[in-house]
Each structure stands twice: as structure tokens, then as C-alpha cells.
């Protein structure tokens, strides 16, 4: 089974993590461009306000989206089944540790090394603490929106992280059954201070390439599993 036919293959080691997530360029462009402050605000409000996050405190740095030919409920159930060892995540580079095997509290470790040295964890990247997990659509929602919303702290990124799924809206030209968004927002990339120096630009490119591969692999996995499900 190849990455572009059927479901994505599991990465067996750190080398293939780099290959699958940093060197591979997905055939579908997922990054949502926002070239000016008005566009950033519009994009931010369209999702951040829906999740209840104060858009005046955060400004969006990265937003990726992909259409998936599977129902929104099916896609979100796949996300809820994540046990920290996803086929769609670079597990060998950034190991996910679900505290008490639950999605509410997550720690991320570089290369999976959690060992403390003199009381310090040099390979601890950051923590995710759930602000809200919207498992079913809100009563007023007509697009079956569900999402995972986290506070990021303890490293980089700092801000909020969200995976947001809703049914497609044909009037917006969306042809697949559902739309998946992966969003990272930062305090220090907002209107108060946005210094795009060389280091930040390099990090954004790396972050965007990895995120693009994650959401594309989620697309492949969900479509492959749903196709098998309906054919049974």
C-alpha cells in the first residue's frame, strides 16, 4: 500500500519521518493564504470565534485545510481514536504522550525522549491542554462542526491549537463530503509583535510542510477507511 494509493503507510523510523513529512510535497495544496491583516482577521474570526477563543488575544499564524470524501462525523471519530501512535503523525520526531491515555492532556517529546537531566527535560517540546473537545455539533450549527481545541504552552508553539471538522458547504465551492482544518495560533505572532526574521521564516516553512503532510495523510486515511467501510 503506497501513500498515494489507499491509506498512508506507517513510518517505521526517524529517517522515514523526515521523508514522509519534510521532504514529501503533497499533491494537494493545504495552506490557506492570508496576505494582509484584514484577511488574517477574517480567517481567524471564521474559526476562532466559533470555538469561543478571543480573537483579540490571538492572531492566526498557520491554517491548513483539506477536503475529505467521508462524513464529518466519521473523520472526527478517527481523530478521537488517536492513541498517540497515529499513521498520520511524525511519531519518531515528535512523540506524543497522552496523559492517562486521554486526549485532554498531551505532552510532546523530541525523538520520544522524556528523560529528565538534573530536573530538566531538554527534549520536552510542549504541552497541549484541552480547552474544549466538541464531540457533537452545537444545537445551532447546521454544518456538523466538531473540533479539538487546545492551549499550547511549555515550549513552541505558544498559543492555541485546533483540529476542526465540518460538513462541506457547496455554495463555497466545496465538493467533498467534509472539510478538515488544522490551525495553530500564537500570542507573539499577532498584532502586538510580529517579527518575521530569518529563523521564524525557516520555522514557518518547516511547520507548513509538516502540517500539510499531516492533513493530507489524514485525508488519505479517512477516505480509504470509509471506502472500505461502505463496501463491506
Q: What is the CATH number of the domain that holds 144?
A: 3.30.530
Q: Which residues contact 2 (CB under 8 A, 6 or more apart)?
A: 9
Residue 227 lies in a domain: yes
CA dist 177 and 163 (Å) reads: 17
Residue 220 lies in a domain: yes
Per-residue pLDDT tens, the chain, 232 aa: give them: 344 456 788 899 999 999 999 999 999 999 987 666 666 666 666 666 677 776 566 656 678 999 999 999 999 999 998 877 889 999 999 999 999 999 999 999 998 888 888 777 888 888 999 999 999 988 877 789 999 999 888 766 568 888 999 999 898 888 999 999 998 876 544 444 455 567 667 877 888 899 999 999 999 999 999 998 887 6
Phi-psi region of 168 (alpha: psi -120 to 50; beta: other; left: phi over 0): beta
Residue 3 lies in a domain: no
Residue 1 lies in a domain: no
Residue 118 lies in a domain: yes
Residue 9 lies in a domain: no
Grid cell at residue 206: 518547516
What phi, psi does 18 have (nearest 5°)?
Answer: -60, -40
Residue 125: how many other CB atoms lie within 10 Å: 18
Vertex 154, ends 152 and 157: CA angle to 5°? 45
pLDDT the model gives residue 125 = 84
Residue 7 lies in a domain: no
CA dist 177 and 226 (Å) reads: 11
pLDDT the model gives residue 155 = 65
Can you spell out the DSSP letters for the chain? Answer: --SSSSSPPPP-SHHHHHIIIII---SS--BPP--SHHHHHHHHHHHHHHHT--TTT-EEEEEEEEEESS-HHHHHHHHHT--S--TTS-TTTEEEEEGGG-TTEEEEEETT----BTTB-TTEEEEEEEEEEE-S--TT-SS--EEEEEEEESSSS-EEEEEEEEE--GGGT--SSEEEEEEEEESTTSSS-----HHHHHHHHHHHHHHHHHHHHHHHHHHHHHHHHHH-
Q: Domain span at residue 186?
A: 15-231
| The total number of structural domains that make up the chain | 1
pLDDT the model gives residue 69 = 96
Q: At what angle do helices 72-80 and 198-231 cross, to 10 degrees?
A: 110
Residue 180 lies in a domain: yes
pLDDT the model gives residue 82 = 84
Amino acid at each position: 500500500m503506497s501513500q498515494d494509493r489507499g491509506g498512508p503507510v506507517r513510518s517505521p523510523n526517524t529517517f522515514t519521518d523526515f521523508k514522509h513529512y519534510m521532504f514529501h510535497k503533497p499533491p494537494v495544496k493545504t495552506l490557506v493564504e492570508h496576505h494582509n491583516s484584514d484577511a488574517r482577521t477574517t480567517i481567524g474570526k471564521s474559526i476562532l470565534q466559533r470555538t469561543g477563543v478571543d480573537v483579540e488575544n490571538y492572531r492566526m499564524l498557520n491554517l491548513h485545510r483539506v477536503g475529505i470524501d467521508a462524513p464529518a462525523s466519521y473523520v472526527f471519530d478517527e481523530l478521537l481514536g488517536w492513541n498517540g501512535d497515529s499513521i498520520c503523525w511524525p511519531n519518531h520526531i515528535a512523540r506524543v504522550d497522552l496523559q492517562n491515555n486521554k486526549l485532554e492532556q498531551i505532552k510532546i517529546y523530541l525523538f520520544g525522549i522524556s528523560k529528565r537531566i538534573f530536573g530538566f527535560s531538554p527534549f520536552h517540546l510542549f504541552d497541549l491542554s484541552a480547552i474544549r473537545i466538541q464531540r457533537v455539533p452545537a444545537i445551532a450549527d447546521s454544518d456538523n462542526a466538531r473540533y479539538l481545541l487546545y492551549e499550547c504552552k511549555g515550549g513552541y508553539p505558544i498559543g492555541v491549537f485546533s483540529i476542526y471538522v465540518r460538513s462541506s458547504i457547496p455554495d463555497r465551492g466545496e465538493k467533498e463530503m467534509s472539510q478538515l482544518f488544522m490551525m495553530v495560533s500564537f500570542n507573539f505572532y499577532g498584532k502586538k509583535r510580529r517579527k518575521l526574521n530569518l529563523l521564524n521564516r525557516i520555522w514557518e516553512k518547516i511547520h507548513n510542510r509538516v502540517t500539510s503532510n499531516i492533513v493530507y495523510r489524514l485525508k488519505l486515511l479517512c477516505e480509504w477507511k470509509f471506502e472500505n467501510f461502505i463496501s463491506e
